[in-house]
Amino acid sequence: MTSSPMRSPRRRGRSIRRNLALAAIVAGTLSTGCTSGASAAPHHDDRSRLRRDADAITALGVTGVQARLVTPDGRNLTATSGVADLTTRRPVSPDGYFRIASVTKTFVATVILQLAGDGRLSLDDTVERWLPGVVHGNGNDGRAITIRHLLQHTSGIHDDYPDYTSAKDFYQHRYDTYTPEQIVARAMRHRPDFQPGKKWSYSNTGYALLGMIIQRVTGHPWHEEVRDRIARPLGLRHTFSPGASPKLPQPHAETYQRFKPGEPLVDVTEQVSLVNNGEAGLVSTTADLNRFFRALLGGRLLPPAQLTQMKQTAPVGKEFEPLMPGARDGLGVFSRPLSCGGTYWGHEGGDSGWITATGVTADGRRSVTVSLSGANADTADHVLRIEQAESKLVDDALCATPNPGRTKD
């Protein structure tokens, strides 16, 4: 995530999704009144509200939306809007695969905290302890940066990511890959943005380093640990790392990007994600993400001490306040206040037209995931309006209140 949504076209697209990602991402304890309201809400009202909010997002020019709400009694309610393909106009599938981008960070953070719970590392270990000599030069010092700093985006490490600058550039380089070592080396060309622990600034490079630490501690790539520790135990059969494959399984929506204002949309669905080293990289579905976040907040993945540490939050940078008012950053999850009182937990992510937002109540009983495809915005105001519509969908889904005039399905 970068601080400005108006940088180069590729980065601008990432900034839109990453800023939005921080905006629907969530933390805290849901108030009793909101919990009871959510439990009693008629399913018909839930589904109608979800469909209305999905339509409001596509009305802003987003190509397609799929959303899934899981109610406290375990019922899955879905809504779709728009189209999955601008050429065929086929409908969006409620079960479509998509690249979850930075939502991957929550999976990586969960593995790190599991390793801490197992006593195999400490959150106060320095980067230098596990990756000697990797973070150094230009004022960067792995001896002063801890695993906790990486998890909470307080390391000060600068992000320097490769970007697509045009449609031609995309077609020439869409199958390129970068190792985590290459990504970190790019960051080391820059001085740190601030001293570790002094400020907050979203750093994808920090999570690339966490992926490297997982491999150093376990002897396995981060995505294999995610598979064995999270996906398989929870039965997340549709969550995986595609590696160097540029294709998505069926069904999936096509996604589109406009590289410069006024230019036509480009189908960017087929590509190898440039960022897939722990800061991003997983493919999933709305059903799997809801199951993951409900299990995480429900205490099924982390011991109580580690879940408590995950939920210890810090304020995010002031530059993000307009997009994510009241949000705070935990360790791999964010908090955001609910309009009905209390807060919710989750993460958001985006890459090349995709935006994913997740939200789950503190007890893990009510959750929502929404995936946007073809999410393009040319101005900061358009970014804000998409974010507000997406945040409203999440808030409405988690703050549903009973309507005595309606009956259950």
pLDDT confidence of residue 12: 36
DSSP string, 101-114: GGGHHHHHHHHHHH
Average pLDDT over residues 225-252: 97
Domain boundaries, the chain: 9-103+220-398
Around Cβ 369, how many Cβ atoms within 10 Å?
30
168: pLDDT strictly greater than 70: yes
- Residue 103 contacts residue 358 (beta carbons within 8 Å): yes
Q: Give the three-class secondary structure for 125.
A: coil
24: pLDDT strictly greater than 70: no
Task: List the alpha helices (DSSP H) in 59-153.
Answer: 104-117, 127-130, 147-151
Q: Give the three-class secondary structure for 343.
A: strand
pLDDT confidence of residue 37: 33
Average pLDDT over residues 111-127: 98
- Residue 301 contacts residue 295 (beta carbons within 8 Å): yes
355: pLDDT strictly greater than 70: yes
Strongest mean pLDDT among 110-119, 257-266, 337-346: 110-119
Which is higher by pLDDT, 381 or 10?
Answer: 381
pLDDT confidence of residue 36: 28
Write out pLDDT tens, residues 176-194. Answer: 989 999 999 999 999 999 9
CA gap 370, 365 in Å, rounded: 17
Q: Give the three-class secondary structure for 94.
A: coil
pTM: 0.89
Per-residue pLDDT band for 320 (boundaries 50, 70, 90) equals confident
pLDDT confidence of residue 43: 64
pLDDT confidence of residue 209: 98
**Torsion angle, CA of 73/229/103/206, rounded to 10 degrees?**
150
Q: Give the three-class secondary structure for 271.
A: coil
pLDDT confidence of residue 211: 98
pLDDT confidence of residue 2: 34
Residue whose structure tokens are 């995610």: 226
407: pLDDT strictly greater than 70: no
Per-residue pLDDT band for 401 (boundaries 50, 70, 90) equals low
pLDDT confidence of residue 224: 98
* Type of residue found at 5: P
- Residue 157 contacts residue 185 (beta carbons within 8 Å): no
What are the tokens at 215? 């491999």
CATH placement of domain 9-103+220-398: 3.40.710.10
Q: Give the three-class secondary structure for 80.
A: strand
Per-residue pLDDT band for 351 (boundaries 50, 70, 90) equals confident
In angstroms, what is the C-alpha Rg of the chain?
A: 20
Write out pLDDT tens, residues 39-91. Answer: 334 567 899 999 999 999 999 999 999 999 999 999 999 999 999 999 999 99
409: pLDDT strictly greater than 80: no
